[in-house]
Amino acid sequence: MGRRVVRNLYVHFPFCRRKCTYCALYSRAGSTPSEREEYVKRVAAAIGEAADRFSLEMSLSTVYFGGGSPALCDLRPLAKTIAPLLDKSAKTEFTVELHPLDVADDKLSELEELGANRISMGVESLDDDSLRHMGRGYSFDEAENAFARVKERFGNAGVDLIVGYPGTERKRENLRRLAGWGLKHCSAYSLIVEERSILKKLLEKGTAGTALPSDDETMDEISETAAFLKSIGLDRYEISNYAAPGFECRHNLAVWHGEDYLGVGEGAHGRIGQTRTVDYLGSGHGTIETIDPAHDAKERRIFALRTSSGLDTAGFPEWTKPLDGFAAAGLLTKDGGVYRLTERGTEICDAILAEIV
């Protein structure tokens, strides 16, 4: 049997300057340079080990460095590991997530040397009061200046925003401030109040200034955000993601459409055939699970419903009846066996997925 070709690599870097109020993900705040240096070495070794362990041939179409804040690490030692794995026949999409405080000329040069060609900057809010409440450590003006410096070096750059965070009444005005940034991509995620987050504790205490907007207010904000992004040339291609034509995130699309991806690092998930990995950093670290073929087939297909290309039900006739019901309710459109979310449907996509699974 030949080696399994893997086209996508995700590497997670859990290091942060501090814990943001909304975050409940695994992270390591206050790490030392030596700890981060050792982690990068382990990541490099784990990529090579995974290729042998899972019998992989890696010809990478996409690479994604997420976090946390990957740029807190010296990433250059990874260049020798990754460069031979890149697909030589097509330009690899190589994304690095940046915190606005990461942006410095030497760091941007380091990313260019590494081969990065796409930047996703976590701005999260456009309001200074909300940024302070989140614990982000910068102002809107500082984020704007940081993004301008990124755009000078990387033509493919976008931002992340959180929708529905407690606070500002100036959301429409703040959105308009993005018009001149030259965004190629925007991820606008609805706030989820995680059980282990600082925000959850503040809400339970009834701390002033942390009242959540209502569901209707949040949905209005999502609609206004989508309309604004469309007005500056960014089309919605997934529930929470918008891009200029040709600038959709290829890595995330690969995941949503069920492609294999190697996930390396603390906090990373991976999918290789019927094998799922979590926190993989080589032998003795992380978990490895094998799932049955029927579950694997459904998992690889189902999340395409989140995307503009829609869910093709070929091979899954049991999905047709519930999906037709949602279509009759105006939550989906139907084109042959392909179902796509309507604007209303995007609001309850998780409920639709739960119903058909």
Please report whether residue 269 resides in a domain: no
What count of Cα atoms within 13 Å lies in the side-chain half-sphere of residue 140? 15
Query: How far is residue 150's CA from residue 354's CA, in Å, rounded to a whole number?
Result: 40
Phi/psi at 181 (nearest 5 deg)? -80, -20
Element (H, E) at 321: helix 320-328
Q: Which of 43, 46, 36 is nearest to 16 (CA)?
A: 36
Phi/psi at 3 (nearest 5 deg)? -75, 145
Q: Let me know whether 193 and 313 are in one domain.
A: no
- Residue ending a domain, among 201, 233, 254, is 254
Total tally of structural domains belonging to the chain: 2
Q: Let me know whether 320 and 220 are in one domain.
A: no
Element (H, E) at 238: strand 235-238
Q: Let me know whether 301 and 160 are in one domain.
A: no
- Residue ending a domain, among 228, 254, 280, is 254
For residue 212, the model assigns a pLDDT of 85
For residue 26, the model assigns a pLDDT of 81
Q: Let me know whether 321 and 243 are in one domain.
A: no
Q: Let me know whether 45 and 131 are in one domain.
A: yes
Q: Let me know whether 111 and 193 are in one domain.
A: yes
Please report whether residue 261 resides in a domain: no
Assign residue 223 the CATH number of its domain.
3.20.20.70
Q: Which of 260, 287, 267, 283 is nearest to 53 (CA)?
A: 283
For residue 173, the model assigns a pLDDT of 80
**2: which DSSP letter?**
P
Cα-based angle 125, 39, 9 (whole degrees, multiple of 5): 70
Q: Let me know whether 43 and 163 are in one domain.
A: yes
Contact 151, 157 (CB under 8 A): yes
Please report whether residue 233 resides in a domain: yes
Assign residue 318 the CATH number of its domain.
1.10.10
Pairing of strands 185-190, 241-243: antiparallel
For residue 134, the model assigns a pLDDT of 93
Please report whether residue 175 resides in a domain: yes
pTM above 0.85, yes or no: yes
Contact 290, 274 (CB under 8 A): yes
Please report whether residue 268 resides in a domain: no
Q: Which of 288, 251, 252 is nearest to 270 (CA)?
A: 288
Q: Let me know whether 236 and 317 are in one domain.
A: no
**Cα radius of gyration (the chain):** 21
Q: Let me know whether 219 and 330 are in one domain.
A: no
Phi/psi at 150 (nearest 5 deg)? -60, -45
Please report whether residue 232 resides in a domain: yes
Contact 353, 316 (CB under 8 A): no
- What is the crossing angle of helices 140-153 and 105-114, to 10°? 40
Q: Encode the chain (357 residues) as per-residue pLDDT tens digits.
A: 578 999 999 999 999 999 999 998 888 888 999 999 999 999 999 999 999 999 999 999 999 999 999 999 999 999 899 999 998 777 999 999 999 999 999 999 999 999 999 999 999 999 998 999 999 999 999 999 999 999 999 999 999 999 999 876 667 788 999 999 999 999 999 998 888 899 998 888 887 567 788 888 888 899 999 999 999 999 999 999 999 999 999 999 999 999 999 999 999 999 999 999 999 999 888 999 999 999 999 999 999 999 999 999 999 999 999 999 999 999 999 999 999 999 999 989 999 999 987
Please report whether residue 178 resides in a domain: yes
Identify the residue whose tokens are 């049955």.
292
Q: Which of 264, 259, 267, 285 is nearest to 81 (CA)?
A: 264
Count of CB atoms situated within 10 Å of the CB of 52: 9
Query: How far is residue 77's CA from residue 41's CA, in Å, rounded to a whole number?
Result: 7
- Residue ending a domain, among 254, 283, 302, is 254
Please report whether residue 237 resides in a domain: yes
**261: which DSSP letter?**
B
Q: Let me know whether 198 and 316 are in one domain.
A: no
For residue 167, the model assigns a pLDDT of 73
Which amino acid belongs to residue 102?
Answer: D
Q: Which residues contact 302 (CB under 8 A, 6 or more apart)?
A: 311, 353, 356, 357
Contact 306, 238 (CB under 8 A): yes
Q: Let me know whether 191 and 340 are in one domain.
A: no
The secondary structure of 77-135 as a DSSP string is GGHHHHGGGB-TTS--EEEEEE-GGG--HHHHHHHHHHT--EEEEEEE-S-HHHHHHHT
Q: Which of 48, 96, 35, 37 is nearest to 68 (CA)?
A: 96
Contact 277, 288 (CB under 8 A): yes
Q: Let me know whether 54 and 179 are in one domain.
A: yes
Contact 154, 189 (CB under 8 A): no
- Domain of 242, in residue numbers: 4-254
